[in-house]
Chains A and B, each alone.
Chain A
Amino acid sequence: MPKTSTMHYEAASTLAVVVSSNEPLLLLSEDQNVVAASASFCRAFEVDPSTVTGRRLCEIGAGEWDMPRLASLLRATASGSARIEAYEIDLVRPGRETRNLVVNARTLDDGDLDRIRLLLAVTDVTDARAETRLKDDLIRDKAILLQEVQHRVANSLQIIASVLMQSARRVQSVEARGHLHNAHHRVMSIAALQRQLSTSSGGRVELRAYFTQLCQSLGASMISDPNRLSIAVEVDDSVVEPDFSVSLGLIVTELVINALKHAFPDDRMGTIVIAYRSSGKDWTLSITDDGIGMPLGTDAPKAGLGTGIVEALARNLQGEIRLGDAGPGTAVTISHRQGAGLPTDVSKAA
C-alpha cells in the first residue's frame, strides 16, 4: 500500500472532525505519518498547519515530537498489543519552557481492518499542574501560618501570665495578691480555649474538653489538696462557636474561683460540679458546690469584679441567672431559652 496516498482514503467528514476537534488531536497512519491535525493541536504546540499533513510525526515542527518512547508506544498501539492511556511525557523545545503532556492514543475503529489509523490526543497539563502545585503550596502555607499564629498567641499569653505571677509573688498585700491571682486565672481560662481551638478542626469548640482543661488548670493552681476539693465536669456533647465558648469559659472561671474561695472554709471537703446541657438553641450552664452556702442579706459579700463579669457575660448571651440553695451549698444556673416569651415560637407551644 503506497504510503503517499493515505490522504485519499480518508472521508472528508473524518478529516473535518479531526481538524475541528477542540482537544489537540492527531490522526496518524500506522507508520506514524500525520493524516490530519486539529487546528487546536497546531495552535497549542505552535506548528504551522500547512507543514503538518503528510509528514512523519517525528518530523513535524522542529523535530520536537521525535520521542522514541512515544513512537514505540504508538507502534504497540497500532499492533493492538497496548493502548496509551493518560501517558505522561514532556515536550522539550529549545529555548522554550518544557511542557508536561498527557497523551491518549487508540486505533480508529471504523471497521477497516486493513488500514490501521491512530488517534493521538494530546493535552498540555503544564498550567493545570502548576496551579495544583500552587494550591497545595498555599494550603501548606496557610497551615504553617496558622500554627505560627497559635504559637505566638500562646507565647504572648505566657508573657502575660509570667508577669502577673511575678507581681503576685512580690506584692505584700493579701488582697492585691488575690486580685493578681484572679487576673492570672482569667488569662489561663482564655489560654485553655486557645489550646482547644488549636487542636480542633473548623474552629469550633468541644465544650466538655474545654471545660475539663479549664478546670484542670484552675484546680492545679487553686487546690492544694486534691483529696479535699475536686471539680467535676458534666457536660454533654455540645460543640459551639469560639465567641460563645470564651464567654462560657470566663463565667465558669469566675464562679469556680468564687466557690473555691468562699464555699469551703476551715478545710471543709467538697466538690464543685460544672454542668452544661443544650437542646436546640436552649442551653443551661450550672456551677454547683456542696459548701457552706452563700450568706444573704447584710452578710452577703459586696459584689466584686467577678460578679460583674458573670452578669455582663450572661446578659450578653441572653441568659438568665438564678441563684439557688443546693442544700448544702450554692447552685448558680444560667439558662437561655430561645424565643422565651415570644409568641412567634409556636413549635413547642403545645
Chain B
Amino acid sequence: MKKDKAVVLVVEDNTIIRMGAVDLVLAAGYEVLEACDADEAIRILEARSDIDLVFTDVQMPGTMDGIKLSHYIRDRWPPVKLIVASGAAILEESSLPDGSRFFPKPYDEHAITDAMARLLASGRSTLTVG
C-alpha cells in the first residue's frame, strides 16, 4: 500500500500553538491530524495505522506528558518518528527515545519542517526496501 502524503500527528494542548503547528505541517505538504493531549493522541494512533510522525509538546494535562508519550509511542509503534518541542530550554535529549528530535520553544518553523523531512526520508529508506 502506498500513500502519496506522509501523515503527521500534532499533539499540543494550546489551541493557538496547535493551529500554528497544523498550518505549518499542511504548508509543508503533509497530511495532518491533531490531538490536544497524550490520551487523545494514543486513541488516534490506535484507530489509524498510517501515522508516520508525531510532533508533540511536553507539558500537557492528562495522564502523560510529551516525554512519556514519546516513549510509549516508541514502544508500541516503533516505526513512528518523533519530534518533541518544549518551553523548557534545557531538556535532556537522553530522556527522549533514540532517534527523536528535540526543539526548544519558540521553535523555528523551517527547523521543524526540515527535521520532519529528514526523519520521514530516513524512515522510508529503511522501511520500503525493495
Contacts and interface: CB of A to CB of B under 8 A. Distances in A.
A151 B20 contact: no
Interface string A127-171: 000000000000000000001001111110111111101100100
Nearest to B13: A155
Contacts, number: 73
B87 A155 contact: yes
B89 A199 contact: yes
B107 interface: yes
A198 B20 contact: no
Contacts of B24: 165
Nearest to A163: B16
Interface in A305-327: none
Given A188-B106, A221-B108, A221-B110, A154 B89 contact: yes
Contacts of A150: 87-89
Contacts of B106: 154, 157-158, 160-162, 187-188, 191
Contacts of A187: 106
Q: How large is the interface on B (under 10, 10 to 19, 20 to 34, 35 or more residues)?
A: 20 to 34
Given A166-B23, A169-B23, A195-B89, A155 B108 contact: no
A67 interface: no
A217 interface: yes
B47 interface: no
A220 interface: yes
A53 B122 CA distance: 86
B65 to A, nearest CB: 12
A199 B90 contact: yes
15 contacts: A154-B86, A154-B87, A154-B104, A155-B14, A155-B105, A158-B87, A158-B107, A162-B21, A163-B20, A165-B24, A187-B106, A188-B106, A195-B104, A217-B108, A220-B111
Interface of A: 147, 150-155, 157-163, 165-166, 169, 187-188, 191, 195, 198-199, 217, 220-221
